[in-house]
Structure 1
């Protein structure tokens, strides 16, 4: 009888241990999603003085006219409440990042932050909200936070109620980006005097859950498939990059290949990760600068600092407008700030410090992520001497027609060189992003790269 009781007790303890291993937050905590919290885990209420409103569901899919797949500006008639300049920046310092303050010092006569009324426009489809709740209940960090357990059944917003810095970062990495997507975008790296050459890119991203059964069957550790072709200028045209983005990149590093049009060969490209050079970037960004941060978090220790109210780029519909030319946007030192829009929003603040014995050109990354979308808004990058080096701003807007948050542009300013890189611009593209379709897995294999590059 005593032995039987011991076996029963042991079985109960084992069951509890297994339950804890597969469980995320408690059902009571997860129940806050969509009630006291937004479905993605943000505070539903506004702030004390009403300058940040309550979240009431975000923009509807018909918030403004859509022309040639470009969404219109629901706030076109609004004017700035005030503008922050180098002359008055100290007055607003508590709600600005160190990088923004540094930009005022670097470009005192031209850099400005026009602040508009805050609108909480974020909205995703209901099935994505359901997936976030499933993630909250089930997803666990693996390999010290470098990967995810019990995530592939939900696939979005790994930790909508985060408990650590790396969990906040994972929400940016696993946020909803829409259905399978094709787009034509550009990148530019202006010289100090503002002159620039446009690099035209054709991008395609596909998610296993929106692909045929063979891709889904092989998707155990795959977050998405990504292919990028340079289409101009002619000296770069035909080069193609292919990535299989893995969920746990320590267990299985990102798989990457490149087709070099000059050599007419496909080769593995492990350098397309971490601080490897970004595509056609003139040395002005690393591979993991794309999307403000992408890839494995494993080279950093991530500290959760907390939440705060900040002026961040938001609802940048004007900057995304097809009525603009790239020459309207690209100016000496930084993009044309007269075309930008900033709003007061709550952000999650995290800091990544390179682990001892690990190498990366950025010794520290200080990041601010929008609470409503989990999309990175601002990132300050520090070199090995502790000097603020590069400042990233993600010029966000809500694509209400497709239920996603995205960027009108991603800008990375080099405070030392006095130059910058900007990518993800689509203003002069033939049309906006195309969502949908069910590409085959064969389209995202190394064998498919060569034919892509010589089309």
Structure 2
């Protein structure tokens, strides 16, 4: 009898645990969105003691003149309030990540953090705010945390009032990105002495809710469709990757294909996931280092550490400027920190620790998400020995014309090799990122890959 009672109590406990993991917030909690919280769930109030202002709506279209379609800098006249260097980093360590502190030790003569006045520039269109409020009361986690329930009704910001670490990660992967887009971008993986070659590529990103030719139910488990064609250097040109990014990747793994220009054939590419090599990165990042982290959360246990104030890259309009060339940016060890801008912002700190029995080159990731945008700003990557290995920094910008958060570029810094990968640079592109692309399902099929590679 006691054994049966124990089993029943255990089953009830597991049931309650599953329910607590899955539950959406109540309408009363959601009512905070747009009142005490911003419409996306950040603290609306500022912090007078540290200089973080209240959120008052963010930047609006026309905040600065455009430069041939590229975003202008609304804060071009501002100077740093102070600069953190290896000599004074200890003074600010409570607001720096272990990775940033490690960069000061690795590059004591060149790595610096110029700190500017905090500007809360994040803004989204009103319909996105309404979607976030609906998501708060309808979207739930699957019991294992690897998928979303009732998400196809909204498709953005599933958990604006998060209860755990994996929900915060889901907000990052499902943030509003401005809609369908195409761009020409570049990356480089400099040698330790700073020598580098540019890898140029064309990106196309489309979301099922903004596409034509999708049958009912066909994209219920698809977050987006993505295609990347390398255009330079000539030895790599013509290679194309196609990804159907699924939401629950345990239920349905990410679908990826590669067109190899040399072989003139399309093949499945399961390696374009998790710790497979990042395309064109010379081994300096993993496939899931794009967007600082992307893809399925299933290999990690997620712990919400809490919220804190930290110096993170923010409003990096100068770094994205077409007046700045790749030679100005790419330097030995890390990008030119004099072009960067950091501000004090509140971030959510989440630890992702590799589950027993799972495999990944990163045994632990410390992730720091900006509270206003849900976008990752900093990630520290640890190897299987527990040693800090790579530092990821996302040089955020808020696109005031589209009302979307993004990156001027991203850097993945290998502390051991003394090298890094900088990606998603658009400074020398012939035109700025284009939004509102008309997308059809037929453009994102394996059959369309070969034509893209040989045109």
Shorter-chain TM-score tier: over 0.9
Three-state SS of the structure 1 residue aligned to 2:294 is coil
Three-state SS of the structure 2 residue aligned to 1:136 is helix
Is the counterpart of residue 402 in structure 1 residue 395 in structure 2?
Answer: no
Is the counterpart of residue 450 in structure 1 residue 419 in structure 2?
Answer: no
1:189-212 CA deviation, whole Å, 9 max, x = no partner?
000110100000100000011112
Is the counterpart of residue 301 in structure 1 residue 322 in structure 2?
Answer: no
TM-score (norm 1): 0.95
1:88-147 CA deviation, whole Å, 9 max, x = no partner?
000000000000000000000000000000000000001111111111001111141111
Which residue is 1:195 aligned to?
195
Instruction: State the distance in 2 between where 1:80 and 1:374 align.
Output: 25
Instruction: State the distance in 2 between where 1:188 and 1:437 align.
Output: 27
1:92-111 equivalences under 5 Å are: 92-111=92-111
Three-state SS of the structure 2 residue aligned to 1:318 is helix
State the 1:69 CA deviation. 1.8
State the 1:179 CA deviation. 1.3
Which residue is 1:282 aligned to?
282
Which residue is 1:27 aligned to?
27
Is the counterpart of residue 54 in structure 1 residue 18 in structure 2?
Answer: no
Three-state SS of the structure 1 residue aligned to 2:152 is coil
- Unmatched 5+ stretches in structure 2: 1-18
1:337-381 CA deviation, whole Å, 9 max, x = no partner?
000000000000000000000000000000000000000000000
Which residue is 2:313 aligned to?
313
Instruction: State the distance in 2 between where 1:438 and 1:297 align.
Output: 31
Contact 2:123 2:403 (8 Å CA) reproduced: yes
Three-state SS of the structure 2 residue aligned to 1:67 is coil
Contact 1:215 1:440 (8 Å CA) reproduced: no
Q: 1:400 to 1:215 in 2, by over 3 A?
A: farther
State the 1:438 CA deviation. 2.2
Instruction: State the distance in 2 between where 1:381 and 1:415 align.
Output: 10
Which residue is 2:233 aligned to?
233
Contact 2:240 2:260 (8 Å CA) reproduced: yes
Q: 1:375 to 1:20 in 2, by over 3 A?
A: closer
State the 1:217 CA deviation. 4.6
Which residue is 2:425 aligned to?
425
State the 1:20 CA deviation. 9.2
Contact 2:40 2:372 (8 Å CA) reproduced: yes
1:230-379 equivalences under 5 Å are: 230-379=230-379
State the 1:252 CA deviation. 0.5
Instruction: State the distance in 2 between where 1:220 and 1:96 align.
Output: 40
1:401-435 CA deviation, whole Å, 9 max, x = no partner?
11111101100000000000000100000111000
Q: 1:21 to 1:285 in 2, by over 3 A?
A: closer
Which residue is 2:6 aligned to?
none
Contact 1:208 1:216 (8 Å CA) reproduced: no
Three-state SS of the structure 2 residue aligned to 1:257 is strand
1:205-237 CA deviation, whole Å, 9 max, x = no partner?
000111125256521101000000000000000
1:22-171 equivalences under 5 Å are: 24-49=24-49, 51-171=51-171
Which residue is 1:15 aligned to?
none
Instruction: State the distance in 2 between where 1:171 and 1:353 align.
Output: 19
Instruction: State the distance in 1 between where 2:80 and 2:35 align.
Output: 32
Instruction: State the distance in 1 between where 2:418 and 2:122 align.
Output: 34
Instruction: State the distance in 2 between where 1:156 and 1:290 align.
Output: 19
TM-score (norm 2): 0.95
Instruction: State the distance in 2 between where 1:403 and 1:453 align.
Output: 33
Q: 1:21 to 1:392 in 2, by over 3 A?
A: closer
Instruction: State the distance in 2 between where 1:221 and 1:383 align.
Output: 32
Instruction: State the distance in 1 between where 2:170 and 2:182 align.
Output: 24
Runs of 4+ in 1 over 3 A off after TM superposition: 19-23
Three-state SS of the structure 2 residue aligned to 1:145 is coil
State the 1:272 CA deviation. 0.3
State the 1:67 CA deviation. 2.3
Contact 1:215 1:441 (8 Å CA) reproduced: no
Contact 1:189 1:196 (8 Å CA) reproduced: yes
Three-state SS of the structure 2 residue aligned to 1:71 is coil
Q: Could you say what the CA RMSD is over the residues aligned between the two structures, in angstroms? A: 1.6
Contact 2:22 2:142 (8 Å CA) reproduced: no
Instruction: State the distance in 1 between where 2:240 and 2:360 align.
Output: 25
1:128-168 CA deviation, whole Å, 9 max, x = no partner?
11111111001111141111001111000111000000001
Instruction: State the distance in 1 between where 2:421 and 2:139 align.
Output: 35
